[in-house]
Amino acid sequence: MCDTCGCSQPGESGVTYSKPHHHGDGIFHHHHDHNHPHEHNHDHHHDTASRTIEVEVDVLSKNNRMAERNRGYFEAKNVLALNLVSSPGSGKTTLLERTITDLKNEIHFSVIEGDQQTMNDANRIAALKTPVIQVNTGNGCHLDADMVNRAAKELDLPEHSVLMIENVGNLVCPSLFDLGEFGKVVIISVTEGEDKPIKYPTMFAASTLCLINKMDLAPYVDFDVKKCREYALKVNPNLQFFELSAKTGQGMSEWYQWLKGQLPG
Ligand SMILES: Nc1nc2c(ncn2[C@@H]2O[C@H](COP(=O)(O)OP(=O)(O)OP(=O)(O)O)[C@@H](O)[C@H]2O)c(=O)[nH]1
Ligand SMILES: [Mg+2]
C-alpha cells in the first residue's frame, strides 16, 4: 500500500492540526510526529516482501483499533461521521460549502479537512462560520484514525450533529484506512473519465455512496454516466448514486435527503 507510494516512509514534515481564526488567517499548530511503522521490530531474516506485508498488517490493525474507538465516540454522541474521498479536485469542498449553506439551519456541521499542505479548504469552511480543523499530513497521502481522533476531540463535537471528514484528494490510499466513519462517500466528477471505478476499484468497493459531480459540465465532456455506474456496480453491487452539480445545485436535494435519512435517532 503506502510503501509503494512512499507515504509511509519517514516524513520530513510532521502532521499539523490548525484551526482558522475568525478571519481565516491566524493559525494555532499542534505538531506531532506522523507515527508510521518504522520502529516496528522486524525479523531481519525475513525477505523484503514478507516484511512489507508484516508492516502493512501492523499499520492497518493499529489503525483499525483506533477507528473502533472513534466509532464508539461518534455513536455515543449520536454523531453521523462521513468520510469524503475522491481524486484531487472532484469538488469535495465545493460540495461541503453548498451542503452546509443549505442545511445549516437544520443540522450542526463540524468539518475535518485533510490536505498535504495549506489551510485553503479550512478557510473556505470557516468562512461559513462552521467549526473546522485542518489536518496537514505533510508527506502523507491519507488521513488515519489517529488524526481524526485528535481533530475530533479538538472540535468538541456536539450531540446529534454531522461530522464531515474531507480526506486528502487521492483515489487509492484513503480507501484502506477506516476512520471510524459511518460510511465513505466517493465523489467522481465527469471530467475524470467513466472508467475510474474499474481502474481504482478499492475506493468504490469501500464506499457506501457515490456522488457523480460536475453534471453541469456533462454536455461538454465525453463522460458516459451509465457506463460509470455499471463499472462501479461491478466492484460494489450495493453502491448508491446521485448525479449532481455542487456548482449549480442540480441534484443536491437527493443527496440532502439521503444525508438526513442517515442521521442517528
Ligand atoms: N463546473 C463545476 N465545477 C465544480 C463543481 N464542483 C467543484 N467545481 C470546481 O472544481 C474545482 C475543484 O473544487 P474543490 O471543491 O476545491 O475540489 P476538492 O475535491 O475539494 O479538491 P481537493 O481538496 O484539492 O482534493 C474548483 O474550481 C471548483 O469550483 C461543479 O459541480 N461544477
Ligand atoms: Mg478540498
Give the model confidence (pLDDT) of 232-261 as tens digits: 999 999 999 999 999 999 999 999 999 999
Q: Is the distance from the beta carbon of residue 167 to the nearest atom of ligand 1 less than 6 Å?
A: no
| 189 CA distance to ligand 1 middle (Å) | 9
pLDDT on residue 55:
73
Number of separate domains in the chain: 1
DSSP state of 86: E
Residue 4 domain flag: no
Q: Where residue 190 sits, what CATH number does that domain have?
A: 3.40.50.300
Residue 199 CB neighbour total at 10 angstroms: 12
Distant-in-sequence, close-in-space partners of 54: CB < 8 Å, separation ≥ 6: 40, 42, 46
Ligand 1 atom closest to the Cα of residue 88 is 25
pLDDT on residue 9:
52
Nearest CA to ligand 1 atom 14: 91
User: Minimum-distance ligand to the CA of 187?
Assistant: 1
Residue 8 domain flag: no
Residue 212 amino acid letter: I
Q: Is the distance from the beta carbon of residue 160 to the nearest atom of ligand 1 less than 6 Å?
A: no
Q: What is the mean pLDDT of the chain?
A: 89
Q: Is the distance from the beta carbon of residue 214 to the nearest atom of ligand 1 less than 6 Å?
A: yes
> Could you give phi then psi for residue 216, rounded to 5 degrees?
-60, -25
Please, which pLDDT band fits residue 22 given cuts at 50, 70 and 90?
Answer: low
Closest CA to 150 of 30, 62, 39, 61: 30
18-26 mean pLDDT: 66
Residue 80 domain boundaries: 40-262
Q: Is the distance from the beta carbon of residue 34 to the nearest atom of ligand 1 less than 6 Å?
A: no
Residue 26 domain flag: no
DSSP state of 169: S
Residue 124 domain flag: yes
Cβ 190 vs Cβ 221: under 8 Å: yes
pLDDT on residue 35:
42
Residue 34 domain flag: no
For residues 87 and 172, what is the distance between their CA atoms, to the nearest angstrom?
9
Residue 97 CB neighbour total at 10 angstroms: 18
| C-alpha cell belonging to residue 82 | 462521513
Does the pLDDT value for residue 166 go beyond 80?
A: yes
Residue 9 domain flag: no
Residue 99 domain flag: yes
Q: Report the greatest alpha carbon distance in the chain.
A: 60
Q: pLDDT for 58-77, tens place per residue?
A: 889 999 999 999 999 999 99
pLDDT on residue 56:
75
CA 163 to chain centre: 11
Residue 236 domain flag: yes
Cβ 118 vs Cβ 110: under 8 Å: no
Does the pLDDT value for residue 149 go beyond 70?
A: yes
Please, which pLDDT band fits residue 21 given cuts at 50, 70 and 90?
Answer: confident
pTM (2 d.p.):
0.88
